[in-house]
Structure 1
């Protein structure tokens, strides 16, 4: 299976909500259409979905961030999720390869992502495609 990578549209909202829930972010249905529109208009954000036979099987969200101390920007994978039943088929690797191509087009010096400690399978996936662990990630909730 070679899924099509394409720009998401509002009709993809239910599938993206389900993917986000599988990633551990339930409840996005209340705001997902607004967020899709906002990210679509943001100059430093890119989204893609992976679709096969009319079914959205994966989603990736990128953000490009300027750096003060270094001459080039970096790319952050904010969300990357492949549907549970489609994992292991190369969809995640294809989405990540697209992200790398976009980062290179924007002359970024690296790609970063954050992956929770409980996502052991995701960590193995990222290690296989060249990511190195960079420990110590701190968060302060503003909620």
Structure 2
């Protein structure tokens, strides 16, 4: 398995992965969104692909400055693994890349929102070391 930066040609498979999360209709504007994200120095979008090049997951991370604290924080905006490839380590691999990026950017934590209906996703985040914090999952990096 390989992890690489997203590119505009990934738009159709990313649209399908978003659809699996319940976000239907992104295909019409996704190529432009991807272009915008890959030109933003505080945004990291990565895909996981099989050795044959088939994209089977992606993660979108945004680095957000904090004015009151020394470190910044990383926010996982979107994270999806193809339903046929879940529980095979793909999510763990992408989350580890996210953590590496966050540490390199001097972030003190990673945050994300995850809908209450996504119980299996919650189990994944707990296994990765996240804790629930009122409405957020937070992973302390220090």
| Fold shared per TM-score above 0.5 | yes
**What is the aligned partner in structure 2 of residue 108 from structure 1?**
107
In the superposition, the TM-score normalised over structure 2's length comes to: 0.92
Give 5+ residue unaligned stretches, structure 1: 138-143
**What is the aligned partner in structure 1 of residue 133 from structure 2?**
134
**Which string of whole-angstrom CA distances, capped at 9 and with x for unpartnered residues, describes residues 65-91 of structure 1?**
011211110000111110000000000
- In the aligned structure 2, how far is the partner of 1:74 from the partner of 1:29? 29
Q: Between Structure 1 and Structure 2, which shows a larger proportion of strand residues?
A: 2
Kindly report structure 1 stretches of 4+ aligned residues shifted beyond 3 Å.
none
1:136 Cα deviation from its structure 2 partner:
3.2
In the superposition, the TM-score normalised over structure 1's length comes to: 0.92
**Superposition RMSD on alpha carbons, in Å?**
0.9
Give 5+ residue unaligned stretches, structure 2: 137-142
Within 5 A, what are the aligned runs for 1:10-49?
A: 10-49=8-47
**What is the aligned partner in structure 1 of residue 5 from structure 2?**
7
**What is the aligned partner in structure 1 of residue 119 from structure 2?**
120
